[in-house]
Chain A
Amino acid sequence: MLKEFTKGIVKENPVFIMALGLCPTLAVTTSIENAIGMGGAATFVLLMSNVFISLLKNLIPSQVRIPAYIVVIASFVTIVDMVMHAYIPALHKSLGLFIPLIVVNCIILGRAEAFANKNNVGKSIMDGLGMGVGFTLALVLIAAIRELLGNGTLYGAPVMWESYRNSPMLMAILAPGAFVTMGLLMGLLNILNKKKS
């Protein structure tokens, strides 16, 4: 059981190892706050869709399973969208377009197809949580690097000295920084993985 949870965090990390869900990973990681918001929203959708698809797997004929999964996922995404808009409007605004786009996050449909429709509810919950946490951690890691270099802060708190914060390395927080940070992190993980094996 625990294995289903931990595999999503390191060994099968959805972002770094499987390279899924890249759009939100790069788009919203301009600050740790955004990263946590997106990670939380995606984890909720992943968990709920895993649970429901695992429960419904015997009722859905396999020819129409993909549209059925899409409906389930899209419903939870819309719920998250509405609830965030109502209770955390500022975060909702800064994540913007990427909340409805959780629908097409390949991690969620991928887990539904590859795991939840073959396993029981308990395992699917652990899998969903693990993948969600893995996704969130990856987002927070990238966001921490970009926020620190590009804004001189971590989770909004000033970390770097003042003259740095006045003219930070803006590139890190802009689009190019996202791609380069991601590429270098992936390379670093490759080195670490090779050392271990």
Chain B
Amino acid sequence: MEFAGSVFTLAITAIFVQNYVLARFLGLCPYVGVSKKLDSALGMGMAVIFVMTLASTITWLIHYYILVPDYVYLRTITFILTIAALVQFVEMVIQKIAPALYKALGVYLPLITTNCAVLGVSILNIDEKFTFIGSIFNGLFAGVGFTLVLVLMAGMRERLEEADVPESMRGMPLAFVIAGIMALAFLGFSGFKL
């Protein structure tokens, strides 16, 4: 019971209170880049959830079984290489065994290597001293939080296509202002200390 409670707390924290995009500023490039269409936002989101969970799992094992205690200073370099290799590997596997899924997610996978949220989660798992199980859940929920705001954003931007906006604010500038208003809404969760 205590375990389930902790998982629930972690879910609320990672998705709402400390949302990786709106409160921690991670993964902003895809957030403004891939949020023009709802379909692509959903595809990107799913790909990120998948890779983030997997990356959290593997980087945790690498850190505690290979890097600790002598090679901790190689953390950044090993993590980013692991993530890059992982993304390549996932791409190949999905292409072979699930061509339909590859068709949906394929274009987003290469973009994920430079999504700082993935490396960010991997490093935070270590910094915040999560256990193995904890970091898997943290990766999963971070991905869910990312997908949530990405999809919300895409929904809004699709409608704004029709709106009459001053020309200089169209596109990127407006996306940021909307993100700011969303961040304001998410700030409401920050009173929670779970």
Contacts and interface: CB of A to CB of B under 8 A. Distances in A.
Check whether chain A touches chain B (CB < 8 angstroms). yes
Interface of A: 19-20, 22-24, 26-27, 66-67, 70-71, 74-75, 77-78, 81-82, 97, 100-101, 103-106, 109, 171, 174-180, 182-184, 186-188, 190-191, 194
Given A23-B26, A70-B84, A182 B127 contact: no
Contacts of A179: 176-177, 179-180, 183
B26 A74 contact: no
25 contacts: A26-B25, A71-B77, A74-B77, A78-B77, A97-B123, A97-B127, A100-B119, A101-B120, A103-B119, A105-B116, A174-B183, A175-B23, A175-B187, A176-B183, A179-B176, A179-B180, A180-B176, A180-B181, A183-B173, A183-B176, A183-B177, A183-B180, A187-B169, A187-B173, A191-B168
A104 B28 CA distance: 12
B97 to A, nearest CB: 24
Given A23-B27, A175-B22, A184 B177 contact: yes
B168 A77 contact: no
Contacts of A81: 76
A119 to B, nearest CB: 22
Interface residues of B, number: 45
A191 B173 CA distance: 12
A23 B29 contact: yes
Contact of A104 (B32, B115, B172): B115
Given A180-B177, A183-B179, 6 more contacts: A67-B81, A75-B77, A103-B80, A104-B114, A175-B22, A190-B173
Interface in B18-70: 22-29, 32-33
Contacts of A100: 75-76, 119, 123
A4 B46 CA distance: 40
Contact of B73 (A20, A22, A78, A175): A78
A187 B168 contact: yes
Nearest to A27: B25
Given A74-B77, A182-B176, A19 B32 contact: yes
A79 B84 CA distance: 21
B194 interface: no
B75 A19 contact: no
Contacts of A187: 166, 168-169, 173-174
A58 to B, nearest CB: 23
A22 B28 contact: yes
Contacts of B127: 97
B148 interface: no
- Residue from B175, B183, B187 with most neighbouring chain A CB atoms (10 Å): B183
B160 interface: no
A10 B176 CA distance: 20
B29 A20 contact: yes
